[in-house]
Amino acid sequence: MAVSWGSVTYEDVTVIFTQEEWALLNPSEKKLYRDVMCENLRNFLSLENVQEHSTKEQPKLHGSKQSNTAVKISEGNVSQNGRKSQECEVYNKLFTYSIHLQPHERIRSGEKPYECKRCINTFSCSSSLQTHERIHNGEKPYECKLCSKTFSYFSSLRSHERTHSGEKPYECKLCSKTFGCSSSLRAHERIHSGEKPYECKLCSKTFSCSSNLREHERIHSGEKPYECKLCLKTFRQSSSLRAHERIHSGKKPYKCKLCSKTFSSSSNLWIHERMHNGEKPYECKLCSKTFSFSSSLQRHERIHSGEKPYECKLCSKTFSCSSSLQRHERIHSGEKPYECKQCSKTFSCSSNLQTHERIHSGEKPYECKLCKKTFSCFSNLRTHERTHSREKPYECKQCSKTFSYSSSLRTHERNHSGEKPYECKLCSKTFSSSSNLWTHERNHSREKPYECKLCSKTFSCSSSLRTHERIHSGEKPYECKLCSKTFRQYGHLRTHERTHSREKPYECKLCRTTFSCSSHLQTYERAHSAEKPYECKQ
């Protein structure tokens, strides 16, 4: 059977992988590839006239412009199929044809004879150079038949096609989790092994995958190569740019199958799904605390290490996570990019906007497992849970007093330092906490935004409303451990506990008389000042 060189070439029946694509194949796929390619070559050379030319003249098989590779039967040991094979002297690996031996020898020698004319990058085989050149010219020759999306690499197309088919052929042998591509499986396996083979040359921090290292290196270089075309904001990661672009478009393509809530990024959907299933796969090796996502674990680990790698360029204040730095920088710039669509109120961070929007919707997605009370934000749930556990993880270094949450500790520390950083713009009165300032400002505005749903009474601060609601419900959540007496307010419990301890922490500055509660001190001080603040209106 005669075959025309113009109609069939060796490269017509050859699939050429780049080094990057080859690395994505698992061992069974690599074996299959070698078997198929050897069979194709044997069949090609066995065609009439081609075998005759290969044994007598050893012609070049016509292929692409970059590789008119000479195919010849090399001298050496006789292989199983009767042909002589060529052997790599270093690894004793047998190759039936020299075109297979040559790339293998370049791996051993490190030779990279193919150079990119634009960026001086070098490669060991021409196909790798061809693939690399697509980065410069933007060529994406591989197209998805379902959605028409194009790709620079054949392996990228194959991985993409699995998003349509749902196929996940790569399975973790330890936890049976499946993945659409082998690189994702390898990265996942490092979670089990703890392996972090990629090291930053500047700070020696190690990472489990190369992409995380590249993103980390941009923290040192300040590089933000991804720019939004609408507002010119730049980002270190392409995924951050894509998520940002959805702020402009309002697109939320990721939907929760359980509650139908939609999200602008897949990572937010994954985090949300863990609220339903309670999954916390990330564990701290020091205290065994578990977390729903890796970023929370990283932030937590900095509590142990004290590391604060993110520094404000304006005031040199340092932070343990980048989001805290971004929020802090908006204090300097006054930027409030997040706007409520219902009332046009603006916020400096998206989480505050989300919490605010729940005021309009009435949504309270966070539920206490002990008493079924619901909350509009997760931090309020955490604070509430400490009323059950009595946990007080935050300790004052000066007086060893402990607190249930960090904001209370910071406010308390200002009692020692005398710092009052929050000033009323109308009367210049200063306060040690922002909440006290907000409450005070409502004295000027007469604003009472918190309304009781049962009796319509309004209050200037939410804590007063919560205390009032306990009158209707009869709830007294604060119990004395010594006599089991219960109270509606935590302040009343503390005052009561002083009857047991005989503690009198409030002292009159004029006569040194001490009192167990501040209201008694205030009443007593009026005896010195002769103040009579209460007037009969009749």
HEC letters along 207-267: ECCHHHHHHHHHHHHCCCCEECCCCCCEECCHHHHHHHHHHHHCCCCEECCCCCCEECCHH
Name the DSSP class of 395: E
For residues 389 and 394, what is the distance between their CA atoms, to the nearest angstrom?
14
Average pLDDT over residues 200-208: 88
pLDDT band at 80 (very low <50, low <70, confident <90, very high): very low
463 closest CA partner among 474, 446, 449: 449
CB neighbours of residue 227 within 10 Å: 12
47 closest CA partner among 83, 100, 4: 4
Name the DSSP class of 418: -
Percent of the chain with pLDDT over 70: 83
Structure tokens, 177 = 């989790």
Q: What is the pLDDT of residues 436-476, one digit of tens each?
A: 888 888 888 888 888 899 999 988 878 888 889 889 999 98
Q: What is the pLDDT of residues 287-328, one digit of tens each?
A: 888 887 787 888 888 888 888 888 888 888 888 888 788 888
CA distances from 282 to 39, 233, 251, 294, 385 (A): 47, 32, 30, 6, 21
Residue, of 53 and 293, whose pLDDT is higher: 293
pLDDT band at 480 (very low <50, low <70, confident <90, very high): very high
Q: What is the pLDDT of residues 101-130, one digit of tens each?
A: 556 566 656 677 888 887 777 887 777 787
Average pLDDT over residues 130-136: 79
Average pLDDT, the chain: 78
pLDDT of residue 79: 44
